[in-house]
Chain A
Amino acid sequence: MGIIKARQLVHEYIRRDEEGNVESIQTALDHVDLDVQAGEFIAILGHNGSGKSTLAKHINALLSPSEGSLWVDGKDVSEEENILAVRQTAGMVFQNPDNQIIASVVEEDVGFGPENIGVPTDEIWRRVEESLGAVGMLKYRHHSPNKLSGGQKQRVAIAGVVAMQPKCIVLDEPTAMLDPNGRKEVIRTAHELNEKKGVTIILITHYMEEVVDADKVIVMDAGKVVMQGTPREIFSQVGKLKEYRLDVPQVTILADLLRQSGIDVPIGVLRREELVDAILRAAQITG
């Protein structure tokens, strides 16, 4: 069985007026089915308000489903007694790096999660060292988080989650507030964790460039899962992606335009080198 399994998951934000009467109901998740296998790198795409963050918060039991069910590592998230176990299995990294660092020293912040779940002191130190090493922040362990760059802060936040030894990490737009360098740092770290430690990664983003290396891409729109597949399968449908107001990587658009104008370029080109090769090949055939 997969690590995350959702069946007909529905979440409604209900707004009430002062007397408690329902004013409006906004369906953020609309009968979502999802299966994630352990060790996968999943990317969830969608523009603002597509329900991707709401889905992320369900995986960490920060929100509970209005209808339907969600299992994380075989545990039902709507059961009260499972909540802590679910949060330990599925760690979460948020968007704003400043608002998720609790302590005023890097190593103490990484130790915060293990402290909460009652890990013995020696083991906390071991884990802090290991997870700071895993994100490449070991030499900053005694620094104050205020003096770090955005990308570094976000890596500390990831280390804080890794120290709890989760099977799965959900990153909810971890790069939205970072500069291009910081974005690369964070995405590289996520891939390293996935490859070296076998941690299942669920990356939520709206930067297309970041999903190119994922095992599977899920596109959400208006609370529904509208597309699912490998990055190549997804990006071969440029027209459909535009319909969901998503930016397709420039290389993919260019390849698509070239093919439309009759040049023999394969469908779903993701990287610049691929396109260069394809154009060269096409040039040799015609030339």
Chain B
Amino acid sequence: MLRDITLGQYYPADSVIHKLDPRVKLFGTMIYIISLFCFRGIAALAIATVFMFVVIKLSKVPFKFMVKGLKAIMILMLITAAFNLFLTPGEELVSFWVFTITKEGLTNAVLMAIRLTYLILGTSVMTLTTTPNQLTDGLEKSLMPLSKIGIPVHAIAMMMSIALRFIPILIEETDKIMKAQMARGADFESGNLLKKVKNMIPLLVPLFVSAFRRADDLAMAMEARCYNGGEGRTKMKPLHYEGRDRLAYLVVLAYFVLILVCRIFLRWPQ
């Protein structure tokens, strides 16, 4: 059961979106999220919808993969919608017992649900089309300016990629320790929550010990291979922009301008 966890859930396919530079995708996702929270009016909503569906179509990722991500936040979405629905003051529509539904509340609730849905869909397009490694590479390169003010960007990116490499190894190890402890009579299933947490101790202690030992070994292996921090390092797969990346930047910017134009001139129905 522990093996099923996949981080980032990359969906391999041969599409334009997959081939884009990860920096473009990071930037695009960010702009899209911002646009979701500042659009006004039905025209802008239509544009955001069309934009997203075109991107999903281009990415060649089946739609049901995208929807999977939505299930996880269903409860959160319902709670947010409920709060918006009942707690927004304004023109009264219906009222029963202590609840009042206002016109503003209704629109807010619907809008919030749409925003959250689009937010999840938008970000999963990014994680489904970009490998974790590309993502860390993209982050490292786009955050590089921060290293001038003393933030160890390279070190953070290196830690992220090593963490990604060791997730499956540690999961396997957890599995192994769990079975070893169960063979000696450890019980991970019964009891109340407090007891269950307590039962985890014989699992966590050996796991941590072994993780530290691995970290020590790995540090030595990295040193032995002349690892010396980010300085003077070259890249085997350096990122550079191509024609399609520049085009993608233009498309994203054009989309954002369009949303802003709608916000100013086409505010109907709000």
Enumerate 5 A-B pairs (CB-CB under 8 Å) in ascending A order: A91-B224, A94-B224, A99-B221, A113-B226, A115-B235
Interface pair B162/A105, CB less than 8 Å apart: no
Q: A115-B236, A146-B168 are in contact. Are A100 and B217 (CB under 8 A)?
A: yes
Chain A 95-137 near chain B by CB (<8 Å), digits 1 or 0:
0101111111101100111111111110011001000000000
Interface pair B162/A102, CB less than 8 Å apart: yes
Chain B 222-236 near chain A by CB (<8 Å), digits 1 or 0:
111111100011111
Complex Cα–Cα for A88 and B223 (A): 11
Interface pair B233/A118, CB less than 8 Å apart: yes
Count of A interface residues, CB-CB < 8 Å: 38
Complex Cα–Cα for A125 and B235 (A): 10
Count of B interface residues, CB-CB < 8 Å: 27
Partner of A104, one of B164, B236, B238: B164
B:203-227 near A, CB below 8 Å: 214, 217-218, 220-227
Contacts of A84 in B (CB 8 A): 226, 228
B57 CB–A CB distance under 8 Å = no
Q: Which chain B residue has the least Cβ–Cβ distance from A125? A: B236
Q: Which chain B residue has the least Cβ–Cβ distance from A170? A: B224
Complex Cα–Cα for A145 and B168 (A): 11
Interface pair A102/B222, CB less than 8 Å apart: yes
Interface pair B228/A116, CB less than 8 Å apart: yes
Contacts of B227 in A (CB 8 A): 112, 116
Partner of A94, one of B132, B220, B237: B220
A:225-282 near B, CB below 8 Å: none
Contacts of A124 in B (CB 8 A): 234, 236
Knowing that A104-B165, A105-B133, A113-B226 are A-B contacts, what are 4 other residue pairs whose CB atoms are under 8 Å apart, sorted by A's residue number? Answer: A98-B214, A99-B221, A104-B161, A120-B234
Contacts of B235 in A (CB 8 A): 115, 121
Contacts of A98 in B (CB 8 A): 169, 214
Interface pair A99/B217, CB less than 8 Å apart: yes
Interface pair A121/B238, CB less than 8 Å apart: yes
Q: Which chain A residue has the least Cβ–Cβ distance from B173? A: A98
B226 to chain A, nearest CB (A): 4
Chain A 17-37 near chain B by CB (<8 Å), digits 1 or 0:
000000000000000000000
Contacts of A121 in B (CB 8 A): 234-236, 238
Contacts of A115 in B (CB 8 A): 233-236
Contacts of A120 in B (CB 8 A): 234
A178 CB–B CB distance under 8 Å = no
Instruction: Pick the 3 closest A-B CB pairs, nearest first.
Output: A111-B236, A100-B221, A99-B217
B:111-140 near A, CB below 8 Å: 132-133
Q: Which chain B residue has the least Cβ–Cβ distance from A120? A: B234
Complex Cα–Cα for A103 and B168 (A): 13
Complex Cα–Cα for A121 and B218 (A): 24
B:26-40 near A, CB below 8 Å: none
Interface pair A101/B165, CB less than 8 Å apart: yes
Complex Cα–Cα for A160 and B234 (A): 16
Contacts of B168 in A (CB 8 A): 146
Complex Cα–Cα for A114 and B226 (A): 9
Contacts of A88 in B (CB 8 A): 226
Interface pair B226/A117, CB less than 8 Å apart: yes
Complex Cα–Cα for A209 and B216 (A): 30
A45 CB–B CB distance under 8 Å = no
